[in-house]
Structure 1
């Protein structure tokens, strides 16, 4: 059954926007562009979108196949989101990535855009919202990701370091709240 719901689409879009944090990752994107030259915005956006939509529909079955229930994955994901939020709020770096040679699929599409936090969020959203609304929200976010990737240099100049810092910290607090909610909603399921 397909139930298009504008409120659900807006809610899911905002949650994914906070988790993906494409605006907050502009400093990382700018740094990547400086290191590797050109970023393939189209390729990164399409691959991230495909990863997210595929995981939305087969993620739960994949987890069952390897013996992990959704509650465990969601609680683990809430910790990932919690640490990502701490990174954003405190300006520290917990997650360190290997040296980059190209910046379209890895690390841009995965894990920067469609990472563990996004995957966990998609599974928890699937239990609360209709799939069609989530898919539309994914597409809206991917279009936004594409626009940000294409214009990252302009956005950096427009906002400046201070503006980017404020946005990053604001979305860090939102992400922290999402992590707490995700943990609270799924931790009971571990012991049921």
Structure 2
């Protein structure tokens, strides 16, 4: 096959939903307020490299360390679950190591290229051409970069209450994705 715009569109939409950069805006704004600066370029490039590398060698790396894709997906569902709980309840479970800027951790990984994204890439690889997945990853990274760069303006437009509402709504969506990811993969562990 090869280059197919329909596949690119489909994969882009799936990755957009899983990466959920719009739902992460409250987290990004919070990090920017705490640290004063987000390295948008660095975070975007690192996330791009992580996702493309995982697309090609992810399954082999998991096999090498004795982890199957289903176990990885279940672990990813727990990470997504706790991120969702933070968003919905307004509590802080993730403790930063006092970084001076936010770029690689926690923005590039796990917010952008987290366990849910990695698991999704493994699933997409089975159904779609790699070139189309790579183009879809690049499209999503451009959107992520734009959101990271304009987080201050987005905060001004939405305000504190708007960000709070978005955070809670996307927290519930993220919780649903976590439950679905868990349910779809946990039964495979016991077969």
TM range (shorter): 0.7 to 0.9
Compute the displacement of 1:154 (Å): 0.6
3-state SS of 1:140 partner: helix
1:123 corresponds in structure 2 to 122
Normalising by structure 1, report the TM-score: 0.84
Asked if 1:2 is matched to 2:2, the reply is yes
Contact kept? 2:11, 2:136, Cα under 8 Å? yes
- Return 5+ residue gaps in structure 1 as ranges: none
Contact kept? 1:16, 1:118, Cα under 8 Å? yes
Matches within 5 A, 1:7-86: 8-86=7-85
Compute the displacement of 1:54 (Å): 0.8
Q: 1:49 to 1:66 in 2, by over 3 A?
A: same
Count of residues paired in the alignment:
191
3-state SS of 2:38 partner: coil
- Return 5+ residue gaps in structure 2 as ranges: none
Q: 1:145 to 1:117 in 2, by over 3 A?
A: same
Normalising by structure 2, report the TM-score: 0.85
Compute the displacement of 1:3 (Å): 6.4
